[in-house]
Amino acid sequence: MLCKAPNLRTAVLGCRIQPTILTPCAYHTTAPSSFRPTPDPSRTITRRRVPLPKHNVVFPATSSSIRCASSVSSAQGSSPSSAQSTSSNKKPTEILDWNTFFRLRRRRRFYQLGSSITTSAMGFVSGAALVSSANMDALVSQLPLDPFISLGLVTFTCAGAGWLVGPILGTGVFNLQNRRFRTQMDEKEKEFYRRVKKFRVDPSASSMANPVPDYYGEKIASVAGYRQWLKDQRAFNKKRQTYL
């Protein structure tokens, strides 16, 4: 063999000859300087674009975006308001049902009654003032009654004239307050009286035991009242046939 394996003596001599074994180890704590290789201009770097999945990313709103959004919302909000203002100018007509018609009809009767009481009192006061202040000898001398009775009749005549004028004023006030229903009320009034005239009984067949039930339909105040009025008319006819 060309080379022989070293024995123990040769290994010991080799250890004595190497000076690095006996020198202490020194540790360097300083960080190595950063080293960046200089780019090679002749080498072209190609980059691959990797498609990333899309996510709903919400960015914080800046002042400019807030101003733009506010201007857009104000522009959008102005159009409904303008449309609402135009629609408010053209209000749809309210439909008058029968229950509302009967309720308004009853209210009109209260207006007429209240106005009649007021105008009657005013006529009585005016007649009394006229009799007490004016010279009524020419008028009293033409009546073959006591002068006090004649003056009383003149006073009550003024009160009666006020009572007759009252329903006209009450109806005018009612029509002024409910002018949106005036046309519909006139139509339903005609329809109502047409039905009353058609279904009411013949008053010539009435008697003490079988009186006419509300011939003009003045007590009807609702649809249920109208149905009850029809039942009363049928009951009247049934009683008349029974008695005959």
pLDDT digits (tens, 9 = 90+) for 97-144: 999 999 999 999 999 999 999 999 999 999 888 888 877 777 777 777
* 146 inside domain: yes
d(CA 194, CA 182): 18
* 63 inside domain: no
Q: Are 100 and 177 contained in the same domain?
A: yes
Q: Are 176 and 206 contained in the same domain?
A: no
Q: Are 173 and 110 contained in the same domain?
A: yes
What's the pLDDT tens digit per position in 197-217?
999 998 888 888 888 899 999
* 87 inside domain: no
C-alpha to C-alpha distances, 18 to 21, 23, 26, nearest whole angstrom: 6, 10, 17
Q: Are 99 and 177 contained in the same domain?
A: yes
What average pLDDT is seen over the chain?
75
* 111 inside domain: yes
What's the pLDDT tens digit per position in 175-198?
999 999 999 999 999 999 999 999
Q: Are 99 and 176 contained in the same domain?
A: yes
Range of the structural domain that residue 213 is part of: 200-244
- Does the model's pTM come out above 0.85? no
* 226 inside domain: yes
* 176 inside domain: yes
Mean pLDDT across the stretch 221-229?
Answer: 93
How many structural domains is the chain composed of? 2
